[in-house]
Amino acid sequence: MSKLSKKPGIIVALDIKNIDFALNLAKEIDKAKGNYALKIGRPLEMQGGKSIISKIKEVSNIPLIYDGKIADIPFISSEIAEIAYEAGADAVIMHSFVGSDVIKEIINLNMGDVITVVEMTHPGAVEYYQHYSEKMAEAALKLGVNGIVLPATRPERVKKLSKLISDSIYIISPGIKAQGAKPGDAIINGADYEVVGRAIYESEEPRKTAEALYQEIIERKRLTLNF
């Protein structure tokens, strides 16, 4: 069973280099009304090392994702994932372009959720990445990953690619606000979570901003899909 539930929510990206700020934000999001998870990316990891994963886990009770965008040979990739799970990560994000052997190696650790990137949000993703997105979505289904990443910046792609996977796989979609997508753009097209970084951690009151975004997303989903 997956550690992240398949219900609409927000994943807050803690792309902050200040460890105290990151810990405070994790505590605030833990108390916020709504369905949330936290994501630690490379900028914070490079400041705090693997212990930042344990520290964030200690101060919050919501699912924690290590976003190392792991993309190495099977042996090295599974070492990175193992360190993250042992430190307290409930899920890891890896690239799928490295191939099914790497994905299988991490799934076989059986230590937590495996989330694969199927299409990225930035403009350059159409140059190479997008040519293989369909194949990578099909691989996610065949290999049995827990979640995939699809771009909120291209809602039509979320709609198309989400149809290639099963109901048991959750979809997380970054790109909200700072990268141009509107809150709800991905969720009304088949995603489960929208990933939000700068729009929350750069705001005056991050917890209130997160709660307002959550409400906005849920309301949009309700109005659009009769949810």
Binding site for ligand 6CN (CB under 6 A): 13, 15, 41, 67, 93, 117, 120-121, 149, 151, 174-176, 178-179, 195-199
Q: How far is the CB of 32 from ligand 6CN (least distance, A)?
A: 17
Compute the distance between CA of residue 52 and CA of residue 96 in angstroms, rounded to an integer.
25
Q: Are 43 and 69 in contact (CB under 8 A)?
A: no
Catalytic residue (choose from 3, 6, 50, 69) = 69
Q: Which two tokens stand for residue 60?
A: 């919050």
Our CB check for ligand 6CN shows the closer of 107 and 176 to be 176
* Residue nearest to ligand 6CN according to CB distances in the complex: 197
Compute the distance between CA of residue 94 and CA of residue 74 in angstroms, rounded to an integer.
11
Our CB check for ligand 6CN shows the closer of 22 and 223 to be 22
Residues contacting residue 18 through CB under 8 Å, at least 6 positions apart: 47
| Active-site residue, 69 included | yes
Our CB check for ligand 6CN shows the closer of 23 and 171 to be 171
In order of 118, 137, 167, 219, the CA distances from 223 in angstroms are 28, 28, 22, 6
Compute the distance between CA of residue 47 and CA of residue 191 in angstroms, rounded to an integer.
31
Q: How far is the CB of 11 from ligand 6CN (least distance, A)?
A: 8
Q: How far is the CB of 116 from ligand 6CN (least distance, A)?
A: 10
List the catalytic residues: 69
